[in-house]
Structure 1
Amino acid sequence: MPVAIVTDSTASLPPEVAAERGIVVVPLQVVIGATVYDEGADGATPELVATALREWKPVSTSRPSPAALLEVYEEAAAAGATEILSVHLSGEMSGTFESAQLAARDASVRVVAVDTRQVGIATGFAALAAADTVAAGGTVDDAAEAARRRSGASSSLFYVDTLEYLRRGGRIGAAAALLGGALAVKPLLQIQDGRVASLERVRTAGRALARLEELAVQAAGHGPVDVGVAHLASPERAVDLAGRLAERLEANLDGREVWCGELGAVLGAHVGPGMLAVCVAPRD
């Protein structure tokens, strides 16, 4: 394919979906204690990270190096790509986009790097929009615009049992004001301008999850959308929420499923066990 699509592991694309769509996924790293793991089934898994966090082991994350991304770009070029679109999580949250920009300078073919200003499946939906555009005969610039348009229209909403993990990882952003009353509230958060921001304060976990559902339905409006539900060590709540959203948004989904799965290890390291997230991504 003349235009290759690259994204990173935080995009939360199921491996079979990425393979089917020809999207190359570059892993970020998780550092637990002194051991470095690539994110993925053979390295850092959500279960591994959740256990380490519960045991108060030091957990941090690391972006892919420019050299690692350059190697991926050159492999794509060797396979026949004449241009590459590299779609990544928010540059406000990770240095991955910066690595992509640096690698692009040395690549043997043109590389367009896109900062989705999003995290998780919202980045994945943006990469899929780019792949759809390329499959329809679009150029790399058309695909980049499709990715930016979709990520800009997406809503990423999430609930955390505690802000402690976001505080530890320095990713709390504009939600920092909640810390003072963290013990008295269950925070609902959102991705705004590429960073974690406060959305609402709710008194109990049950009310917070009910409100998360309502906000997702409001974000969907009346148009066609894709919806994804992600969790860390909270599968029952995630399946329940996905089922309710599938019922309430049946007309918006037009037969498509609500994606439901465990959050990747890298993002999970920053939100902690019990997190529940919803992404609503309008379709063109």
Structure 2
Amino acid sequence: MPPHVAIVTDSTAYLGDDALSAHGITVVPLTVVIGDEAFEEGTEISAPAVAHALQRRHPVTTSRPSPAEFAAAYGAAAASGADAIVSLHLSADFSGTYDAASVAAKDAPVPVRVVDTGMVAMALGFTVLAAAETAASGGTVDEVVAAAEKRAADTSAFFYVDTLDYLRRGGRIGAAQALFGSALAVKPLLRLADGRIELLEKVRTASKAISRLEEIVAEQAGARRVDLAVHHLAAADRAAALAERLRERVPGLDGLVVSEVGAVIGAHAGPGLLGVVVSPH
């Protein structure tokens, strides 16, 4: 009988409660700090609260979980019967979460494989689900990791932000690029590549940028079977309208998630974020 492989991830995967419960996925939360108050993502603070704080120019930072928090999660999974654990996390270029998980894995009561997916938001979420489905079908640790790595490698994420300033403040994109974009008063389109945020195109207006985002997603999806996720922060109407247009333009669409990003990603991207994850099967 193959070993029972438990799946652990972090709160930036933004999976819904139903998906987490259905697959028995454990989530270790990151922390958002507003001023001198710390809040756990997913339970103690909402993305709208972060958007409000950013709009009022309150200092907003984020921090990784501690190794002790991961140790507790791994211990609980082992106590529940897991023979091994696959722990899947957001890009190590964005956060020290992967490092904290790796420290805890060394002393875990069962073997733990920690994976830097290079992803974030539902790009991470779809990767986690692929791993969970393989584990549920009796896959070994190697098979679970391989399923996750394949899904991550095939997944793309594109996004629009009203300004690069929040990403610059958080160190998630180079200051020179941020200043260049602001000087030209452009609306930037970005992508996730090799675990980093890259400037993809500069467009003159918000409406043109969002239309271009739609074009890029349709081209990336092609005729393949894909899952899509449309994320936003304080831009629900824009997200809903984009999702409806993508329903019409993506012939191989299987699943479509429309959701506001969580507090951690919101803190770095800022209000007005509109992103799309394209994840082929």
TM-score bracket relative to the smaller structure: over 0.9
Residue 176 (structure 1) shift: 4.3
- Please report how far the alpha carbon of residue 179 of structure 1 lies from its aligned counterpart in structure 2 after TM superposition: 2.2
Distance 2:138 2:76 in 1: 22
Cα drift, residue 236 of structure 1 = 0.2
Structure 2 unpaired stretches of 5+: none
Alignment check: 8 A CA contact 1:246 1:257 kept: no
Aligned partner letter, 2:260 = E
Which residue is 1:2 aligned to?
4
Paired with 2:142 and 2:133, the residues of 1 have a C-alpha distance of 13
TM-score in terms of structure 1 length? 0.95
Task: Verify the 8 A CA contact 2:33 2:60 in the aligned structure 1.
Answer: yes
Q: Percent identity?
A: 53
Deviation at 1:257, TM superposition (A): 3.4
Q: After superposition, what is the alpha-carbon deviation per residue over 1:7-31, rounded to whole angstroms, capped at 9, x for unaligned?
A: 1110110122111111111110000
Aligned to 2:214: 213
Contact 1:234 1:275 (8 Å CA) reproduced: yes
1:87 aligns with 2:88: yes
In structure 2, give the amino acid aligned to 1:63.
R
What residue in structure 1 maps to residue 276 of structure 2?
278
Letter in 2 for 1:27: P
> Any idea what SS the aligned residue of 2:224 has?
coil
**Segments of 4+ in structure 1 off by > 3 A?**
none
Deviation at 1:145, TM superposition (A): 1.0
Partner SS for 1:48: helix
Match of residue 104 from structure 2: 103
* Correspondence 1:4-19 to 2 at 5 A: 4-19=6-21
Instruction: Tell me the TM-score normalised to structure 2 length.
Output: 0.96
**Structure 1 residues 171-197: Cα deviation after superposition (integer angstroms, max 9, x where no partner):** 114x84242232420000011111110
Contact 1:228–1:280, Cα closer than 8 Å, also in 2: yes
| Inter-partner Cα distance in structure 2 for 1:122 and 1:206 | 24
Say which of 261, 264, 268 aligns to 1:266: 264
Q: CA deviation at 1:135?
A: 1.6
2: CA distance between counterparts of 1:199 and 1:48? 29
The equivalent residue for 1:190 is 191
Q: Distance in 1 between matches of 2:36 and 2:180?
A: 32
Which position in structure 1 is the counterpart of 2:177?
Answer: 177
Structure 1 residues 58 and 178, CA, compared in 2 at 3 Å: closer, same or farther? closer
Q: Match for 1:220: what amino acid?
A: A
Q: Deviations over 1:87-122 (max 9, x none)?
A: 100001111011111110010100001111111110
SS, match of residue 209 in structure 2: helix
Corresponding residue SS for 1:106: coil
CA deviation map 1:136-176 (0-9, x unaligned) = 22111111111111111111100000011001111114x84
Select which of 21, 24, 30 maps to 1:22. 24
The residue number in structure 2 matching 1:32 is 34
Structure 2 CA distance for partners of 1:262 and 1:143, relative to 1, 3 Å: same
The one-letter code of the counterpart of 2:140 is T
* Cα distance change of structure 1 residues 103 and 155 upon mapping to structure 2, 3 Å threshold: same
Report if aligned partners of 1:46, 1:265 keep a CA contact under 8 Å in 2. Answer: yes
- CA-based RMSD of the aligned residues comes to 1.2
Tell me whether 1:160 sits opposite 2:161 in the alignment: yes
Q: C-alpha distance in 1, partners of 2:62/2:28?
A: 14
Distance 1:16 1:172 in 2: 34
